[in-house]
Amino acid sequence: MIILMKTGSTQQDIDAVVSLLKERGLGANLSTGSQATVIGVLGDKTKLEGANLELMEGVEKCVPIMHSYKLASREMTPEGRTVNVGGVVIGGKKLVMMAGPCAVESEEQVREAALGVKEAGAQFLRGGAYKPRTSPYAFQGLEDEGYRILRRVGDETGLKVISEIVSHDEIDVACKYCDMLQIGARNMQNFRLLREVGRSGKPVLLKRGVASTIEEWLDAAEYIMSEGNYNVVLCERGVRTFETATRNTLDVSAVPVVRERSCLPILIDPSHAAGKAAYVAPLALAGVAAGADGLIVEVHPNPRTARSDAAQQLTVPAYKELVEKVSAVAAAVGREL
């Protein structure tokens, strides 16, 4: 932590800050410039909880110099982490492909999607059982029956199953039927849910909130990891901006930034970023070229009958075509499918 004093702060102001630091067992290092004094705090800044230095006389502002997350940081695990989901490794040389319908609508629909994406080369089947919807009058998902359908079809096809969990009440059932739990963008700061999935030990795909900074996202990952569950994979799915041509704005820069700051793998969800099927492939390829560890893509056997997010779901043939392109781009950046 660095404390910047105001132009015009007095020696008394500076002494008061230094005294407080000493009372708390911290060191102080003063830099007195021509216009302002800067105080470097030496020691464990958690000792400053409640000290509220920014309210002391003469203090202009306090600048933190360390991340608040530790387990999720690259510093602590410089070699990076991989997450192993029943034998499928996320974060290695091989990209991981997750695909399936936005919402579980029926066993037939899920099976048709699953067979298609399996054939295309996906390792994971995705599908929403509990659907968070903006309006209370929209289709809310098949709930627990959705999880069961995914499990049955996953077992049939040999695909791992990932599905969103929207409340900690469903954690036992979700853990029973899924191989990996997804925390959606709206719940990225549902801290109770983060702690519970942390306690569950299940691998977690943590989507970025639409208005969350990368630092806040890594803090959210830290919530899960601080409960002892290190099997966390991040997923960039677009942030909210002023642009309306796409549903959200895919922040592809998040890939190198996360790579630099965090030890966790990162996937790209081009479907929610795009909001339109025609844009999914370009965004998917961009994510892979930028270094993402895989993709999660919405695929529906017949998007025209989908009960949610119809405009952004790919058909099975379109997904197959995408996977071929992904394979070529992956090779070009030293990865493989």
Residue 8, classified by CB atoms within 10 Å of its CB into exposed (0-12), middle (13-18) or buried (19+), is exposed
CB 123 within 8 A of CB 328: no
Taking the C-alpha atoms of residue 225 and residue 231, their distance in angstroms, rounded to an integer, is: 8
Cα separation, 72 vs 223, whole angstroms: 9
Closer residue to a second copy (CB): 66 or 93: 66
Min dist. Cβ of residue 14 to a second copy (A): 14
Q: Taking the complex as a whole, how short is the minimal distance between the CB of residue 245 and a second copy, in angstroms?
A: 5
Which residue matches tokens 């390792």? 123
DSSP 162-216: EEE--SGGGHHHHHHH-SEEEE-GGGTT-HHHHHHHHHH---EEEEPPTT--HHH
- Enumerate the H helices of 36-142 as residue ranges: 107-120
Which one, 68 or 82, has the nearer CB to a second copy?
A: 68
Rounded to whole angstroms, the Cα distance separating 268 from 97 reads: 10
Comparison of 12 and 34: residue with beta carbon closer to a second copy: 34
CB of 162 to a second copy, least distance (A): 20
CB nearer to a second copy: give 74 or 81. Answer: 74
Q: What phi and psi values does residue 134 have, to the nearest 5 degrees? A: -60, -40
Minimum Å gap between C-beta 150 and a second copy is: 20
Helix (H) or strand (E) holding 149, with range, is helix 144-157
- Nearest to a second copy of 85, 188 (CB atom): 188
Nearer to a second copy, 63 or 93 (CB): 63
Rounded to a whole number of angstroms, the minimum distance from the CB of residue 178 to a second copy is 18
Q: Which residue has the tokens 């943590």?
A: 206
In angstroms, the CA 29 to CA 38 distance is 8
Q: How far is the CB of 87 from a second copy (least distance, A)?
A: 28
Count of residues making up the chain: 337
The CB-of-180 to a second copy minimum distance in angstroms stands at 21
Q: Which is nearer to a second copy, 88 or 283 (CB)?
A: 283
